[in-house]
Structure 1
């Protein structure tokens, strides 16, 4: 395919570009050109997407088979892009989020769960749920059935800049005894970023449209699986001390929030890790083994170092205070 990637340097965008190049697609990217240099073989266009005239000039009269858009802020920017490309792109894949569903999410929810209200012309980037839903509406406005809305769940794997697996790997690397939010049998639902990229590219190639909840199958992996596998692939000499959420909360330690297992008030939210993914599995999503995701993430961190955190992501020290952790470990030992 002739592919246009709006973004292409961080996390999902980078995975899309690399996966497309591996497939042999002809890849063009459009971004501000301020972070990573373009990958070899990529035709890089430079423009600030919030400036409609700059974007128009950068895109020129180009035509593409498909576009994949990872934008997560003001919906108006997505609307401008979709309107500009409507007559010269066959397919528009938008990386959305399960966050577009009204909170609280019902257990076992699928694509038909209630949605938040949103305005596709809004310049508001602070309300993530409304921004993503507004982006969806903006794409649908111009592309209709030619739009694919990928409502992603928790996205892990190489290039993650949100602060989940990289944070845990660095924490486990320190060795010794570390707290972990019990129970170890807690189910997790996630997707490797490269599996998301590959599915969106295959879907674009066959013109698949519609909204899909895009994450791994529920119940396939537990938190214990994730952390013990992380220790196995890295070889760290670290002891996991599984600790009840109530005790963590009493000591001011929000462990578990990084995986959506706890809300800020300490409660356990529903619907986070049991989404119905029947539709996307039927539409061809494939999921690689957890071990591969963790091993490749660790290899990336060793090769490139820790990523710069996203502006809208928690700071690296959000989930644990070292002194508070040690006090609780001492308490548990006594």
Structure 2
């Protein structure tokens, strides 16, 4: 792969992926609205992905071996991308989410737990909109399509504040609000999802693929890694507390050749970094 386009890619694991590929000699083009600077040493195009004509103008005369779409959140955005990148790339990788399995029973979820051909009425939820965006891109025939369903990401320059929520509550002696009987979920280390996306962009398989470190994690174990916590139940539950098991089967990815790490190998370091950042 010589030419890669990344939609988004200016922060968190998208930025790490861009920097890794750049350092490996890949010619990376980042396209976003310009609110955040792209990493040094890459081509930066400014356009709003929701404005189809502006996107076409920004990409005029350009083509790529692959595209990694970090910020496709709706079926409308997917439809615009399908039209604009037709004829510009042979491969399109969408960063999707474990949330596409929200509301389903039968964890750990394999990729076929979601029937992309059977999406119905518009679903405004985060997971529902991601499912429908996947369905739009999967239905087109102009490029090979991959949807990377990422586990919950921990580590790195996390802007979500979810792990910080736990660190601060435990440090301040406040109870962590959880479900009556919280269940485990799948997680992935921030550098690992960056590597996975780059690997997926270079590969030749298509379709949905789950990405998560080996070994699930529940709210009890997460809190225990931070410190001694008090718990209570209530409606305003903390992030990463789940009513039902929310884990993914990653056998497709491992069968295709990607070697995942173990959650237990990186969790202590992630917690240590989060505690240090919260103390600043």
Q: Which bin holds the TM-score, normalised by the shorter protein? A: 0.7 to 0.9
2:269 maps to 295
Matched residue, 1:109:
109
Query: What is the correspondence of 1:2-41 to structure 2 with a 5 Å cutoff?
Result: 2-34=3-35, 36-41=36-41
Q: Alignment partner for residue 223 of structure 2, among 216, 220, 227?
A: 227
Runs (5+) with no aligned partner, structure 1: 232-238, 262-267, 307-334
Q: Which moved more, 1:275-284 or 1:291-300?
A: 291-300
Q: Does the 8 Å CA contact 2:167/2:274 hold for their aligned counterparts? A: no
Q: Aligned-pair distance for 1:62?
A: 1.0
Deviates more, 1:56-65 or 1:280-289: 280-289
Distance 1:162 1:29, change over 3 A: same
TM-score (norm 1): 0.70
Instruction: Describe the SS at the equivalent of 1:150.
Output: strand
Alignment CA distance shift 1:179-1:147 (3 Å) = closer
Question: In structure 2, do the counterparts of structure 1 residues 96 and 188 end up closer, same or farther at CA, with 3 Å as the change threshold?
Answer: closer
Distance 1:143 1:170 in 2: 48
Residue 245 of structure 2 is aligned to residue 277 of structure 1: no
How many Å apart are 1:183 and its aligned residue? 9.6
CA root-mean-square deviation:
3.4
Matches within 5 A, 1:208-247: 208-219=205-216, 221-231=217-227, 239-241=228-230, 243=231
Offset at residue 106 of structure 1 (A): 2.0
CA displacement at 1:129 relative to structure 2:
3.0
Which of 198, 201, 206 aligns to 2:203? It is 206
Alpha-carbon separation, structure 1, partners of 2:182 and 2:128: 33
Provide the rounded CA distance (Å) in 2 between the counterparts of 1:169 and 1:39: 30
1:54 and 2:51 matched:
no
The reply to whether residue 191 of structure 1 matches residue 185 of structure 2 is no
Q: How far did residue 143 of structure 1 move?
A: 4.7
Question: What is the CA distance between 1:93 and its match in structure 2?
Answer: 0.5
Q: How many residues align?
A: 277
Is the radius of gyration larger for structure 1 or structure 2?
1
Deviation at 1:207, TM superposition (A): 1.9
1:103 and 1:299 map into 2 onto residues whose CA distance is 32
With over 3 angstroms needed to count, the CA separation of the structure-2 counterparts of 1:70 and 1:180, relative to structure 1, is same
- Structure 1 equivalent of residue 136 of structure 2: 138
Indicate the residue corresponding to 1:149 in structure 2: 147
Q: What is the deviation of 1:48?
A: 0.7
Mapped partners of 1:294, 1:74: distance in 2: 35
The question of whether the paired residues in 2 share the 8 Å contact of 1:102 and 1:114 is answered with: no
Q: Which runs of 5+ in 2 are unaligned?
A: none
The CA distance in 1 between the partners of 2:274 and 2:142, in whole Å, is: 38
